[in-house]
């Protein structure tokens, strides 16, 4: 594959791509280093928080409910009050997660689905129950039973640890109150309305919603919630029952975990942008939470990050992601288990949707030499992703700048170098004519590099060739001039000797000497003819003339001059610009050459036709083909005749043909006849029309 100098330099510039490749791997290593640094940073933060919490023992007093029981209810402190209207806008605004209820016993749930939310504000506990129910069955006002319809059941322990059960049911959407049951069975008759438990029941597109408010003074350490679903208003039999956990006995109810506001305020002092802190007890239950895993000030995806084009190409922090621990009441990750075992640990995990990586660092909190809980600090890897993207963006910018500058410099250098080489090539081509003569020695551009040295060497070489060419051009005329005098002397001497002797043998010798002298005279004549022709061609003017008339006149003369040859002529009317005398001389040389090589009895065919804007003169003869190692047939002093003839041949005939064709602005070529094997030669002269 042929490549230009500029293409080769551009390929060489492609080696600069190794710089961004190495930079990319460096950025990847930098990302790993930043991950290690972030792990150490979060572990240091967790250690400081654990030390601060261990110094404040009052934060651990009463911070957690009874740890017995397999389940617990985590009650978060709401940022504001909840309006009891049966709508969930405040809960969604406060970002309180919905926890699904489970079947109270195998086979109870069926296709029934229900979710609940719980939170604390002031002196009240707020509950929101959302139920998917295609068939809502309200309470019959005539019946005293509360479990023959859709209902919400609250099971809790009072301050004395006794189990108390309340049912919430209504005969129509609107304001509701709870009723305390006489026993622990939902089928028990209500004892009296509990006016301290208030709420709102509203229908939704796919079911119903109940919002309740319970004074914290009514609650003991345990609480359970259940939802009963009745679908058949005729039989009013219970179709499904789902609950938060066990509903009896009192010790099996889920415990209530109410975070301490003082602990959360203490945690808030250590929380930063994009950092979340947790405190758990030895049972993995959350005692306090502060902060959020949202994007920090320096990791905003649309803020101070790279250019929008790089944000499309490079990895960026996720705008949103699924947080599986948001609002969790229990942290049972492996890092928490390690910390509760007394070993500080940092561990990476991926969000459930796979959009971000989260680092959690846990540190044990020791009270009186024993582990009382653990502090967990969480942060997303957004800062690392953004730092890596920024570093890659900078690397790309610098690489593009460096590559652009290098490519530009190389292109300018290649353009200048290739321009110098092209000028040197064109000047060298222009200095040498098609016939090999040196027209003029160009003033080649110099320089201090290798190209300048080459230009000077070529100039010197052309000067030497021009001098030698002039010597060869003048040698013809000089040789003819120098040989004329001795030939004349020999001729006069032979004439005198011929007149003074009568010996037959001497006369034969004199005849052979005269014959050789005549041949020498012919050679000198042809050399003078070639020299005169070169001078004539240089000074001759051109004018339009009918080439076909010149050809016809010449062929008529050939039939008399070459009686042993037969000529066939086909000529179309053609007008060219030049000299008819020179054209006739050119045809003379071609006809004489064809007649010399033609097989006896075969004609010499001469054709003149018009092809486009050219006149094509063809002279063909049957005979031996052109030699394979013929060299340049049209060069001076080149002859391929295998046997000498009667006339001397110096190889000037075809050279004269080329000179005359060039004078007329045309070209001449030779080829074999297209036979298999070849059996002759064809000479063609192409001349432009006038």
Model confidence over 527-554: pLDDT tens digits? 666 666 666 666 677 899 999 999 999 9
Evaluate if residue 301 carries a pLDDT over 50.
no
pLDDT at 523: 63
Between CA 207 and CA 617 the distance in angstroms is: 106
Residue 336, token pair as written in the block:
């928490």
Between CA 606 and CA 620 the distance in angstroms is: 7
Judged by average pLDDT, the poorest of 207-221, 312-326, 351-365 is 312-326
Task: For the sheet with 667-672, list strands across it.
Answer: 566-571, 603-611, 614-622, 680-688, 667-672
Residue 598, token pair as written in the block:
């033609």
CB 180 within 8 A of CB 190: yes
Number of helices followed by number of strands (H, E) in the chain: 12, 26
Residue 49, token pair as written in the block:
């928080």
The alpha helices in 234-325, defined as continuous H runs, are: 261-268, 308-313
pLDDT at 567: 92
CB 367 within 8 A of CB 292: no
Residue 302 pLDDT level (bands cut at 50, 70, 90): very low
Evaluate if residue 676 carries a pLDDT over 70.
no
pLDDT at 502: 58
Residue 88 pLDDT level (bands cut at 50, 70, 90): very high
Between CA 338 and CA 140 the distance in angstroms is: 55
| pLDDT higher at 226 or 411 | 226
pLDDT at 68: 46
Residue 243: partners with Cβ closer than 8 Å, 6 or more residues away? 101, 102, 103, 104, 153, 224, 225, 226, 227
Residue 54, token pair as written in the block:
């261990």
Q: Is 283 helix (H, G, I), strand (E, B) or coil?
A: coil
H or E stretch covering 227: strand 223-230
Mean pLDDT of 592-602: 88
Instruction: Report if pTM > 0.75.
Output: no
Residue 316 pLDDT level (bands cut at 50, 70, 90): low
Evaluate if residue 21 carries a pLDDT over 90.
no
Mean pLDDT, the chain, whole residue set? 80
Per-residue DSSP letter, 4:
-
CB 27 within 8 A of CB 388: yes
pLDDT at 486: 66
- Burial level of 580, CB count in 10 A (0-12/13-18/19+)? middle
pLDDT at 431: 81
pLDDT at 196: 93
Share of the chain above pLDDT 70, in %: 78
Cα–Cα distances in Å, from 337 out to 27, 365, 374?
Answer: 34, 13, 9
| pLDDT higher at 10 or 221 | 221
Mean pLDDT of 342-364: 88
End-to-end CA distance of the chain: 43
Q: What is the pLDDT of residues 438-478, one digit of tens each?
A: 777 777 766 777 777 788 888 888 888 887 777 666 666 66
Find the Cα–Cα–Cα–Cα dihedral 170, 174, 175, 178, rounded to 10°: 20
Between CA 126 and CA 81 the distance in angstroms is: 9
Residue 18, token pair as written in the block:
């190794």
pLDDT at 424: 84
Q: What is the pLDDT of residues 137-149, one digit of tens each?
A: 999 988 888 889 9
């Amino acid at each position: 594959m042929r490549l230009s100098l500029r293409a080769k330099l551009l390929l060489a510039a492609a080696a600069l791509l190794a710089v961004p490749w190495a930079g990319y791997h460096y950025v990847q290593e930098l990302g790993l280093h930043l991950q290690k640094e972030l792990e150490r940073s979060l572990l240091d933060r967790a250690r400081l928080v654990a030390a601060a919490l261990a110094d404040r023992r009052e934060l651990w007093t009463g911070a957690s409910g009874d740890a017995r029981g397999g389940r617990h209810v985590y009650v978060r402190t709401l940022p504001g009050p909840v309006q009891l209207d049966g709508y969930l806008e405040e809960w969604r605004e406060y970002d309180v997660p919905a926890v699904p209820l489970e079947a109270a016993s195998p086979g109870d749930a069926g296709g029934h689905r229900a979710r609940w939310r719980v939170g604390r504000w002031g002196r009240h506990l707020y509950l929101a129950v959302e139920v998917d129910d295609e068939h809502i069955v309200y309470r019959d006002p005539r019946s005293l039973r509360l479990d023959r319809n859709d209902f919400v059941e609250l099971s809790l322990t009072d301050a004395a640890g006794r189990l108390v059960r309340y049912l919430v049911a209504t005969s129509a959407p609107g304001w509701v109150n709870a009723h305390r049951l006489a026993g622990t069975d939902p089928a028990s008759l209500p004892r009296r309305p509990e006016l301290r438990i208030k709420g709102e029941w509203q229908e939704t597109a796919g079911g119903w919603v109940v919002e309740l408010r319970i004074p914290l003074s009514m609650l003991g350490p345990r609480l359970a919630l259940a939802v009963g679903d009745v679908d058949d208003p005729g039989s009013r039999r219970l179709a499904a029952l789902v609950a938060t956990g066990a509903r009896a006995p009192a010790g099996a109810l889920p415990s209530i975990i109410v975070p301490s506001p003082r602990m959360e305020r203490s945690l808030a002092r250590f929380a930063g942008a994009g950092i979340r802190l947790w405190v758990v007890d030895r049972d993995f239950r959350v005692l306090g939470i502060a902060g959020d895993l949202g994007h920090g000030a320096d990791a905003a995806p649309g803020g101070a990050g790279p250019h929008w084009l790089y944000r499309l190409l490079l990895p960026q922090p996720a705008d949103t992601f699924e947080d599986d621990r948001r609002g969790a009441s229990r942290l049972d990750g492996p890092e928490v288990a390690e910390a509760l075992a007394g070993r500080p640990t940092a561990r990476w995990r991926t969000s459930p949707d796979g959009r971000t990586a989260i680092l959690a660092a846990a540190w044990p909190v020791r009270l009186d030499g024993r582990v009382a809980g653990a502090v967990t600090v969480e942060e997303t890897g957004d800062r690392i992703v953004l730092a890596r993207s920024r570093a890659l963006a900078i690397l790309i910018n610098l690489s593009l700048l460096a590559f652009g500058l290098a490519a530009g410099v190389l292109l300018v250098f290649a353009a200048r170098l290739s321009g110098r080489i092209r000028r040197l090539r064109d000047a060298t081509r222009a200095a040498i004519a098609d016939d090999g003569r040196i027209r003029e020695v160009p003033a080649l551009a110099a320089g201090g590099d290798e190209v300048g040295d080459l230009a000077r060497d070529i100039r010197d070489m052309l000067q030497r060739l021009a001098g030698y060419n002039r010597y060869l051009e003048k040698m013809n005329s000089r040789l003819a001039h120098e040989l004329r005098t001795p030939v004349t002397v020999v001729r006069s001497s032979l004439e005198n000797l011929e007149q003074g002797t009568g010996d037959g043998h001497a006369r034969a010798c004199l005849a052979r000497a005269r014959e050789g002298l005549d041949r020498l005279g012919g050679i000198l004549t042809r050399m003078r003819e070639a020299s005169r022709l070169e001078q004539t061609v240089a000074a001759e003017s051109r004018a339009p003339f009918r080439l076909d008339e010149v050809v016809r006149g010449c062929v008529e003369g050939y039939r008399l001059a070459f009686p042993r040859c037969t000529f066939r002529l086909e000529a179309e009317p053609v007008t060219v610009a030049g000299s008819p005398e020179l054209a006739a001389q050119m045809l003379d040389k071609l006809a004489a050459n064809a007649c010399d090589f033609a097989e006896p009895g075969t004609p010499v065919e001469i054709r003149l036709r018009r092809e486009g804007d050219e006149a094509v003169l063809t002279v063909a003869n049957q005979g031996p083909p052109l030699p394979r190692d013929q060299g340049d047939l049209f060069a001076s002093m080149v002859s391929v005749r295998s046997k000498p003839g009667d006339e001397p041949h110096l190889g000037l005939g075809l050279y004269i043909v080329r000179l005359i064709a060039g004078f007329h602005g045309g070209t001449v070529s030779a080829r074999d006849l297209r036979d298999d094997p070849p059996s002759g030669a064809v000479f063609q002269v192409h001349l432009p029309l006038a």
